[in-house]
Amino acid sequence: WPLHAPYVKAINDLKRERGAVILAHNYQSPEIYNCVADIVGDSLQLAREAARIEARVIVQCGVHFMAETAKLLNPDKTVLIPDREAGCSLAESITPEDIRLLRERYPGVPVVAYVNTSAAVKAEVDICCTSSNALDVVESLGAPRVIFLPDRYLAANVAAQTKVEIIAWHGACEVHERFTAEDIGALREIHEGVRIIAHPECPPDVVAAADFAGSTAHMIDWVKRERPRRVVLVTECSMASNVEAEVPDVEFVRPCHFCPHMKRITLPKIYACLRDMSGEVTVEPELAARARRAVERMVALAG
Ligand code: 13P
Ligand code: SF4
C-alpha cells in the first residue's frame, strides 16, 4: 500500500508522542488493521482489552458504540474516534424510551442488550452481550424469559440454541441482513467444495445453511484451525483481507458487503484525530455509571 506509507509512519510516530493506543475492530480496512492498530479483535475482545489499557489516550477504529464502550470502561482516559459519524443500523434501531416501554409491557423480565447499542440504551438494561457470548449471557440470568435486543436475527439464532424464551426487538444489521439462503446455495454450486461460515447477525436460514457461525473472532479462529481449501466469510468484506495474510494456503471466495460506517475510518482521519486530539467521545457521568454496570457485568462473566 505505497500511498498509505507516509500516513502509517506519521500515525505510529504521533501515537508514541501522545501516549495513545489504537484499538481496531476486525472489520477495519487492512492498512489500519495491519499497519497502525495495537489491538485488534471482535467486540468482546475490544471491550475486554479496553478495560485493561494503561495508555492515556485510546483511539477507537470502529464505530461509535465501540468508542462509547471504551469510554465507559475508562472514564478517566481520553477516548477518540476518527469519525464521529461512524454509526450502526443496530444501535440506531432502539432508544432508552423503547426499553422503558418494554419493561412496562414485560414486568420483571430481564433485558439483555447487544453491545451494538448507545450508552443511553445500555444504561436502561440489565446486562450487555456480544455475538461471542450471547448464549452464555442469556443463560446466566437463570430466567425463563429474556428480552434480547436490538438484533432480531441474533435473537432468533440464540433462541434456536436455548430453552429460554427470547422476546426480540426488530433491529437488523444493514450488512448482514443482505445475505440470503439462496446466496449460500448458489455459492455451493459455483465453488465446488467451498466451506461457508457466517456471522450470527445473518438471518437464521443463512446461519442454518452455513458450516459454522460465530463472532468475527470465532470465524477467524475457525479458518486458522480448519484450514479449508476454499472459504466464504459471510460477513463484512475486510475480514477476508485481514485474515488472508495469515493463512496463505486458504482461498477466500468473496461475495461480501462493506459496512459503510466502519469504512468511514481512514488513515488520514486517524492521523488528523491524533494530531488535533479531536473526536473525543464523552458520556455524561451519571448515565455512564449506569451503562458501565451492564458492560462490566458482561466482562466479568466472560472471565
Ligand atoms: P463481532 O466482532 O463482535 O462479531 O461484531 C460484529 C459486528 O458487526 C460489529 O459491529
Ligand atoms: Fe453495525 Fe452491521 Fe456495521 Fe457492525 S457491520 S457496525 S452491526 S451496521
What was the pLDDT predicted at 302? 64
130 lines ligand 1 (CB under 6 A): yes
pLDDT band at 255 (very low <50, low <70, confident <90, very high): confident
Mean pLDDT for the chain? 96
By alpha-carbon position, which residue is closest to atom 7 of ligand 2?
A: 173
Question: In CATH, what class is 91-174+286-302?
Answer: alpha beta
Considering every ligand atom shown, identify the ligand nearest to the alpha carbon of residue 260 and give its number.
2
Pocket test for ligand 2, best of 42, 89, 257, 263 (most atoms within 8 A of CB): 89
Q: In the prediction, which pLDDT does 259 show?
A: 98
Question: Is there an atom of ligand 1 within 6 Å of 116 CB?
Answer: yes
Fold of 176-258: Rossmann fold (3.40.50)
**Alpha-carbon 39 to chain mean position:** 14
Q: Which ligand is nearest to the CA of 115?
A: 1
284: burial class by Cβ within 10 Å (0-12, 13-18, 19+)? exposed
- Where are the chain's structural domains? 2-87+263-282, 91-174+286-302, 176-258
pLDDT of residue 291: 98
In this structure, which topology does domain 2-87+263-282 adopt according to CATH? Rossmann fold (3.40.50)
Residues 298 and 128: their CA atoms lie apart, in Å, by 6
Predicted pLDDT of residue 254:
87
Q: What is the reported pLDDT for 128?
A: 97
Residue 303 pLDDT exceeds 70 = no
Are 2-87+263-282 and 176-258 the same fold in CATH? yes
**With 80 as the cut, is the pLDDT of residue 247 above it?**
yes
Dihedral of alpha carbons 129, 135, 140, 142, sign: positive
Q: What is the pLDDT of residues 140-179, one digit of tens each?
A: 999 999 999 999 999 999 999 999 999 999 999 999 999 9
Closest of 192, 197, 240 to residue 215, by C-alpha: 197
Give me the pLDDT at residue 213, please: 97
Of 104, 98, 223, nearest in space to 113 by CA? 98
* DSSP 3-state of 41: strand
Residue 256's pLDDT band (cuts 50, 70, 90): confident
Nearest atom (ligand 1) to Cα of 235: 8
Q: How confident is the model at residue 275 (pLDDT cuts 50, 70, 90)?
A: very high
Ligand 2 centroid to Cα of residue 12, in Å, is 27
Torsion angle, alpha carbons of 111, 85, 45, 239, to 10:
120
DSSP code of residue 200: T
- Interface predicted TM-score of the whole assembly (ipTM), two decimals: 0.98
Residue 26 in contact with ligand 1 by CB distance below 6 A: yes
Å from CA of 163 to ligand 2 middle: 28
pLDDT confidence of residue 248: 95
Question: Is residue 67 pLDDT above 60, yes or no?
Answer: yes
Q: What is the pLDDT of residue 129?
A: 96
Closest ligand 1 atom, CA of 216?
4
- Cell digits for 170? 426488530
Query: Over the stretch 208-240, which tens digit does the pLDDT of each residue have?
Result: 999 999 999 999 999 999 999 999 999 999 999
pLDDT tops 80 at residue 278: yes
Mean pLDDT of 264-273: 97
Higher pLDDT, 48 or 194: 194
Ligand 1, atom 3: nearest CA belongs to which residue? Answer: 43
The ligand 2 site (C-beta within 6 Å) comprises: 63, 88-90, 116, 173-175, 201, 236, 259, 261-262
